[in-house]
C-alpha cells in the first residue's frame, strides 16, 4: 500500500513514521535555564550521526505555547546532557515526560539522582548507565520542529558496564537499555538479540557459491 505524503496531514505522517521506524533509542535530555532550574524529558527522535566530532541529533516538537523547556534551555545555555534509558528507570523516564510547568525540576520530581557533570552545567541522571555531556553544534529548523545537533564532549558510563577501559569495551547488554516502539506507550527491551558478522567481498562470493552448489 502506498501512502502519499503530499496528501497526508502531519498527524498521519507522524503516526506512520513512529509505527514503522522502530525501535528508537531514547535521549533522556537534562537541560538547565540561565537561573539554574533543571529540566529533564525523553526524546525518541534521536540518534548519533558521526564520531569526529561525535554529534547526536534530537528532534524537538513545538509542544506547549512558548515551546518545550528542553529546547528553550538549550537555546539559552548551549549545553545539555543526554542520558540513555535503562529498563530499571523506565517509569521514572515516563514521569519526566509529564507536561509539567517550567518551574518543576523533573529530576527531583521523579525521585532521580542529579550528579554533577564535568564540562557542562546541567547535571546527569545517576540512574542512567550512560550520560553524554553535550554542547550545541547546530540548530536546524524543520517546519515547526527543531533538530538539535549536539557535540558530545564527554561520556560517563557506569563502572560495572565497562569491560575494558583501556580498549573502550562496553558491556552493552548490561546497560539494559530500552527503546521506544509504536503508539504512545510501547517500548522494547534490548534482551532479544542475534549476531551476524559483517562479510568481505570474498566471504560473500564464497557464500553465494556454496548456495549455488
Ligand X SMILES: Cc1cc2nc3c(=O)[nH]c(=O)nc-3n(C[C@H](O)[C@H](O)[C@H](O)COP(=O)(O)O)c2cc1C
List residues near ligand X by CB under 6 A: 26, 39, 41-45, 59-61, 63, 68-70, 94, 97, 99, 180
Cis bond leading into 23, ω under 30°?
Answer: yes
HSE (side-chain half, CA atoms, 13 Å) at 147: 14
Nearer CB in complex with ligand X: 140/163: 140
Percent of the chain as helix, strand, coil, to the nearest 5: 25, 35, 40
Nearer CB in complex with ligand X: 97/161: 97
Nearer CB in complex with ligand X: 63/78: 63
- Cβ at position 202, least distance to ligand X in Å: 42
Nearer CB in complex with ligand X: 62/204: 62
- Cβ at position 201, least distance to ligand X in Å: 38
Distance CA 144, CA 62 (A): 6
Beta bridge partners of 60: 146
Task: Output DSSP code: residue 190.
Answer: S
CA distances to 34, 114, 129, 167 from 176, rounded to whole Å, are: 33, 20, 9, 21
- Cβ at position 71, least distance to ligand X in Å: 7
- Cβ at position 10, least distance to ligand X in Å: 13
- Cβ at position 167, least distance to ligand X in Å: 32
Distance CA 138, CA 58 (A): 11
Nearer CB in complex with ligand X: 45/170: 45
Distance CA 24, CA 187 (A): 9
Amino acid at each position: 500500500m502506498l501512502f502519499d505524503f503530499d496528501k497526508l496531514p502531519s498527524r498521519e505522517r507522524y503516526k506512520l513514521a513512529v509505527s514503522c521506524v522502530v525501535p528508537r533509542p531514547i535521549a533522556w535530555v537534562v537541560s538547565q535555564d540561565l537561573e539554574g532550574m533543571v529540566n529533564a524529558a525523553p526524546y525518541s527522535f534521536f540518534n548519533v550521526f558521526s564520531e569526529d566530532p561525535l554529534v547526536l541529533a534530537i528532534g524537538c516538537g513545538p509542544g506547549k505555547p512558548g515551546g518545550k523547556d528542553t529546547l528553550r534551555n538549550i537555546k539559552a545555555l548551549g549545553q545539555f546532557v543526554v542520558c540513555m534509558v535503562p529498563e530499571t528507570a523506565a517509569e521514572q523516564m515516563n514521569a519526566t515526560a509529564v507536561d509539567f510547568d517550567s518551574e518543576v525540576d523533573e529530576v527531583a520530581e521523579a525521585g532521580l539522582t542529579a550528579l554533577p557533570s564535568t564540562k557542562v552545567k546541567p547535571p546527569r541522571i545517576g540512574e542512567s548507565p550512560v550520560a553524554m555531556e553535550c554542547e550545541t553544534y547546530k540548530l536546524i529548523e524543520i517546519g515547526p520542529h527543531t533538530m538539535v545537533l549536539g557535540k558530545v564532549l564527554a561520556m560517563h558510563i557506569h563502572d560495572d558496564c565497562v569491560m575494558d577501559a583501556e580498549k573502550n569495551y562496553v558491556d552493552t547488554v548490561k546497560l539494559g537499555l530500552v527503546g521506544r516502539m509504536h503508539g504512545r506507550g510501547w517500548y522494547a527491551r534490548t534482551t532479544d538479540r542475534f549476531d551476524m558478522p559483517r562479510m568481505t567481498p570474498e566471504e560473500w562470493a564464497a557464500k553465494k557459491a556454496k548456495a549455488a552448489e
